[in-house]
Structure 1
Amino acid sequence: MADAPARFKDLCLDARDHQAVADWWAAALGYVRKDVLDDGTPRERDWPALLIDPAGAGPDIWINPVIESKWVKNRMHLDVVGDRDALVAAGARIVRARGGDIDWDVLADPEGNEFCVFAPE
């Protein structure tokens, strides 16, 4: 089989308050912020925030600052396995509850970025 022309590198998410959204996703996923560059220099607060999986299993996630608010449905989103009620208690909101034709919940993070939550097996 020939090599693919691309490979997955990172996941990026835009946010107006990128620092707060980075903190929210870090807590929701058990990721940690990488606030220091490899040379020991602190990351500037206006730069994108980098989240890393401390277990090394998940992709790096960049939370990028943008000036505009989210106003349409995401064309790409995260799927997570987790506790819907705990995510709602942490600040997510339910966009569409599981039932009928879907076996997952659609939630939105504090800035409205949609993601699907599947119950643990």
Structure 2
Amino acid sequence: MARLHDIVIDCAHPAVTARFWAAALDGYSVAPYDDAELARLRAQGIAGPEDDPTVLVEPSGGGPRLWCQLVPEPKRVKNRLHLDLVSGAAEAEIGRLAGLGATVLARHEDHWVLADPEGNEFCLFPTAS
């Protein structure tokens, strides 16, 4: 039986998108770059982490990893798959996410639809605190 391992986000600026999701999600951070990884990037002609075409965002505990991957084409239509987030303080979380670069696209009766800095939609649902 298969299990979810990674979620891949296509984007124009992987490092920026990775930093957004690392800050947006509790317990996630951009994977550190060690000397071996920096050498690997340089060998491929990549100046450093800011230009890395695939940036990993790791959970500190369980859960899927996020890969932010460079693609040449811009986002044109609504995502066919999106993330649903929950927060016990949804109104405050909307403000925090907007401060990180998210855009509120719509408010529905039971949730908000937002977009990350690349325009990828995601939803935020309130939970009982």
The answer to whether the superposition gives a TM-score over 0.5 is yes
Distance, in Å, in 1 between the alignment partners of 2:4 and 2:64 is: 9
Which residue pairs with 1:29 in the alignment?
25
- Work out whether residues 35 and 42 of structure 1, in 8 Å CA contact, stay in contact via their aligned partners in 2: no
The question of 1:95 aligning with 2:100 is answered no
Q: Greater helix share, 1 or 2?
A: 2
SS of structure 1 residue aligned to 2:7: strand
Q: TM-score, normalised by structure 2?
A: 0.78
Q: TM-score, normalised by structure 1?
A: 0.82
Stretches of structure 1 that go unaligned for 5 or more consecutive residues are none
Distance, in Å, in 2 between the alignment partners of 1:36 and 1:50 is: 10
Instruction: Summarize deviations over 1:90-118 as a string: whole Å, max 9, x none.
Output: 2111111122xxx1100000110000001
SS of structure 2 residue aligned to 1:42: helix
Percent identity, aligned pairs only, is 40
Runs of 4+ in 1 over 4 A off after TM superposition: none
Stretches of structure 2 that go unaligned for 5 or more consecutive residues are 42-48, 88-92
What number of residue pairs does the alignment pair up? 111
Q: 1:63 Cα deviation (Å)?
A: 0.5
* Aligned Cα root-mean-square deviation (Å): 1.6
Deviates more, 1:83-92 or 1:14-23: 83-92
SS of structure 1 residue aligned to 2:75: coil
